[in-house]
Structure 1
Amino acid sequence: MAASLKPTPAILLSSPCSSPAYSSRLPLQPSPRPRSPHVQASPATEATPTSRIEHETRGTYNHVASAGVAATPYTSATCTYNLCFPPNPYSLHFQRSEKWMIARGDKLKEDINMLFESCKCTVERITLLDSVQRLGIDHHFKKQVDIALSQIIEDEFTSSSLHHVALRFGLLREHGLWVSSDAFNKFKNEDGSFRKDITNDPKGLLSLYNTAHLLVHSEPSLEEAISFARHHLELMRDSLKSPLAEQVQRALHVPLPRTLKRVETLHYISEYKHEEWHNPTLLELAKLDFNLLQHVHLKELKYLTKCVGLNYARDRLVEGYIWCYAIYHEKEFAFSRIFLTKQLMLISLMDDTYDAHATIQECRQLNAAIQRWDERATSLLPNYLKRFYTELLRIFKDATTEVAICDTYHVAYVRKAFQDLSAYYLQEVEWLHQNHKPSFKDHLSLSAMSIGSPTLCVGLMVGMGDPITREAFEWAASYPNVAITCGKIARLMDDIAAFTGGKAKGDMASSIECYMVEHRVTSEVAISKILSLLEDEWKTLNQAQFEHHSHLPVVQRIINFANSMLVFYAGKDAYTFSINLKETVESLFVKPIPM
């Protein structure tokens, strides 16, 4: 019998922060807007000027910081994470030193503003912009980045450096600014092949290889660039020196445009001092920024550990949080990150319920209740599903009262997306119950939706503030190609990773099995074909930045979401077998960077 679902504490508002960039307090509200006059403060909020999460995490941190020991670990199904914050590199008392760190960060940002202003040419601008982005501090310089991009695209650029040409190409494309692949023609022979002399430029080849992965459909020249650069990088990688050797190794595993940015930031922070153009000011701010944000993220995780689910469901809090963290790590998106993590936990519960625990009749009853979205529909359900259904409604009700009054419609769109997802789950169950064998195309059309990624593409927008309009929600709720593509990438990568490990009893046939049966081929042939299809989906994702430029802030977050799939599914199913993620979790949330 399932255990009762312990209610999650309502998200409470924090007291004002001491700095717009950092604070030891955790701001859980979305962007500051007028709140509904009927929303009342909770008793906990009235009793103390700080939120419950601030109260609950502060004592734990002080104990850890002063004693230098781990806090109570959080166990996630197959892995135990010590969600503690070790002694800060500046001081054993983080809260005492935080004011100094904030002041130091503000001074460093002023110095970096001057660096942007002092750039005299395109090469200086692209070098600075690339460094700021890869060090993870670009969110502090949004205005400066926009100005630099405008100057880069307008200024004449005649560089003969493969590295600089590739860097400019990549920076513009990843910001939704079109630049033709003809930019690389200067490095080709008359017959269209790449010149032999560039094979002696490993830095340029690496930049070409990474940048070429921003290709869209019908760009064979960039496909050729990937093949050419990969071949020569593989030949030379054993003879390269650090840090270029490590950068090449990572890129050959996962190209830079598809990495989880914060993981790559950790790598680059440790490597940046070896770059010939490195600037100590950028590096110091990057380390300080990462450590301060790490403390914010750890507080969010500790708060979320109080969100418990049904005892039969996969306990995937930390893994789910990483997905949301990959979408937006910036402090101002704390509310969005926490609500999205709760959505993902609910999806995991729904998936396990439909897939493994409910009978066909109970699945139909649960879907009927979710379509009604009414507390009175609880009577339709067996006891263990009543607990889940009540929690589902409560989390959405809480979110509606916590967003600004002019943003309450956000949650209504997400509710509709959850109702759609429930219907997709039920369709899969009906297929299984009827022993229906779908075609590969039909299977992928349904399973790309039932994996939940398109649902979360709607949910991730809640609380993001001014860039998100009602029109943007209408667009996302229509499941545009970028959202469906995100679902296809998740589904196909998940199926490939899970195939060798077998599938749980009751699972519907995977896309690989459907392809094997329909085309009468081996698993090796099927996987090879699906990998080719995946490359096409990445092209569609890149193209969305130009096709949906008016919704670029959302598209870029969806691309971040898709990139996170590689952390979980690149060769192994780390979401199901979370022991594979332990080192990543510790680096992102537990171990501060030495200053």
Structure 2
Amino acid sequence: MECNKQVQVVDDEQQVVSCHLKSASFDEIQQRRSANYKPNIWQYDFLQSLPTIYDGVEYKLRAENLKENVKDIFVEAKDQLAKLELIDIIRKLGLGDVFAEETHKALQTVVSSMKNNKNGEEEELYMTALRFKLLRLHGYDVSQDVFNAVSITKCSDIKGLLELFEASYLAFEGETILDEAKAFSMEALRNVYPTLDLNLAKEVAHALELPMHWRVQWFDVKWRITMYETYNKNIDKRFLELAKLNFNAVQAILQKDLREISRWWRDLRIMEGLNFTRDRLAESFLCSVGLTYEPQYSCFRKCLTKITTMILIIDDVYDVYGSIEELEQFTEAVDRWDSSKTQDLPECMKTCFQALYDITNEIASDIQELNGWQVQALLHMRKAVLCLHK
């Protein structure tokens, strides 16, 4: 590399030599780091080819007929335990949002029944734990003290222990009764596991591997459908048929969302200049599905996917690509929300800031289209971006 040397004599013993480098860009001089990320495995053509046959009219009509039939089962469930088991099955099969109104009414009846039972009569562990679990999952205020009326340590009922184990993971901090219940039920289930029949053994193993409250609900639905279909011969067949139709119909909507967001990602073309960062659109979309899979929340899933992809990119800009000086300048641009502050940055960092700027405005526009309050949405989006950035 050529240089023109200018020598300045400071004193008899010291010389300062400065070099003016000819026509070399910063990126050519500085060796950029690499995280060696694996390439994206979800190709655009594959995502666009995902089928959606279950959004057809015939499937929707059949599902509507089955919904009306299943509603009758709610009417037929007279006693408290029958109602609780019905709600539990519906939730596990991914039908909670389909029967949200019926579930709410049934739980209100259960709460009223609890208030009327002021004598604190001893109950079976299975019903107490199942009721506690479902009420907490649906946001009801229910005390851990309900387990005082149950002889927990004397229980040998596997279904009761399993529900107690699941319920214990809904404990708040400092709820010692539930902490003790978790330890007891976990040990009891592990000890009895080798003696169980295949059906119960699979249920127990599934719970011990990861409790229901810690699982992503939608990703567990298919397993539940298979379990009920294979091992539970007493379940109403209408449940299973509706669960399958609903699962496939929701999957069709999710696949449609993924096709649309992948087209948006391709048209954005941001990855063409960012070879150091992660290209993880499909994975980001799956995260949004984990938070809310319900069909009516397509806009939320798409917006969250956009945000997540940008978080990954900006994270790599900071952790992998930028120098301290560049990152300080990039941070100032974000804090001031001013693209002019990026003029001296490398092109890829300019592209990153502009994408962040455009996507934030794009999401605010989507919110305006749904709710009609653009200015507030944009202000809140900018505040959210600043919080994530810091």
Same fold (TM over 0.5): yes
Report the RMSD for the aligned CA atoms in angstroms.
2.4
Q: Deviations over 1:61-103 (max 9, x none)?
A: xxxxxxxxxxxxxx97364575477778xxxxx27x8111000
Structure 2 contact 276–320 (Cα < 8 Å) conserved: no
Q: Residues 128-527 of structure 1: matches in 2 within 5 Å?
A: 128-156=86-114, 160-188=123-151, 194-196=152-154, 198-199=155-156, 201-273=157-229, 274-275=231-232, 277-306=234-263, 307=265, 309=271, 310-403=274-367, 404=369, 406-408=372-374, 409-422=376-389, 424=390
Task: After superposing the two structures, state which structure 1 stretch, 299-308 or 207-216, moved more.
Answer: 299-308
The one-letter code sitting in structure 2 at the alignment partner of 1:288 is: L
1:317/1:275 Cα in 2 relative to 1: closer, same or farther (>3 Å)? same
The number of equivalent residue pairs is 338
The one-letter code sitting in structure 1 at the alignment partner of 2:200 is: L
* Counterpart selection for 2:39 from 59, 71, 77: 77
The 1-side partners of 2:383 and 2:98 are apart by 35
The 2-side partners of 1:275 and 1:183 are apart by 29
1:302/1:248 Cα in 2 relative to 1: closer, same or farther (>3 Å)? same
1:277/1:218 Cα in 2 relative to 1: closer, same or farther (>3 Å)? farther
The one-letter code sitting in structure 1 at the alignment partner of 2:281 is: L
TM-score (norm 1): 0.54
The one-letter code sitting in structure 1 at the alignment partner of 2:103 is: V
Q: Deviations over 1:331-380 (max 9, x none)?
A: 11001100100000000001010111000011111111111223444425
Matched, 1:120 2:78: yes
Work out which of the two has the higher radius of gyration on C-alpha atoms and give 1 or 2: 2
Greater RCO, 1 or 2 (C-alpha within 8 Å, sep 6+): 1
Q: Which runs of 5+ in 1 are unaligned?
A: 2-74, 89-93, 189-193, 425-595
Shift of 1:384: 1.3
Shift of 1:180: 1.8
The one-letter code sitting in structure 2 at the alignment partner of 1:354 is: Y
The one-letter code sitting in structure 2 at the alignment partner of 1:135 is: L
List, as ranges, runs of 4+ consecutive aligned residues in structure 1 with deviation greater than 6 Å. 84-88
The one-letter code sitting in structure 2 at the alignment partner of 1:329 is: Y
The one-letter code sitting in structure 1 at the alignment partner of 2:276 is: Y
Shift of 1:238: 2.4
The one-letter code sitting in structure 2 at the alignment partner of 1:280 is: K
Q: Which runs of 5+ in 2 are unaligned?
A: 1-26, 28-36
The 2-side partners of 1:285 and 1:84 are apart by 27
The 2-side partners of 1:283 and 1:247 are apart by 18
The 1-side partners of 2:275 and 2:320 are apart by 13
Q: Deviations over 1:160-196 (max 9, x none)?
A: 33222111000111122122222222332xxxxx333
Structure 1 contact 77–316 (Cα < 8 Å) conserved: no
Identity of aligned residues (%): 29
The 1-side partners of 2:364 and 2:153 are apart by 59
The 2-side partners of 1:212 and 1:233 are apart by 14
The 1-side partners of 2:281 and 2:50 are apart by 21
Structure 1 contact 173–214 (Cα < 8 Å) conserved: yes
Task: After superposing the two structures, state which structure 1 stretch, 204-213 or 173-182, moved more.
Answer: 173-182
The 1-side partners of 2:133 and 2:378 are apart by 35
Shift of 1:329: 0.4
Describe the SS at the equivalent of 1:243: helix
Describe the SS at the equivalent of 1:137: coil
TM-score (norm 2): 0.80
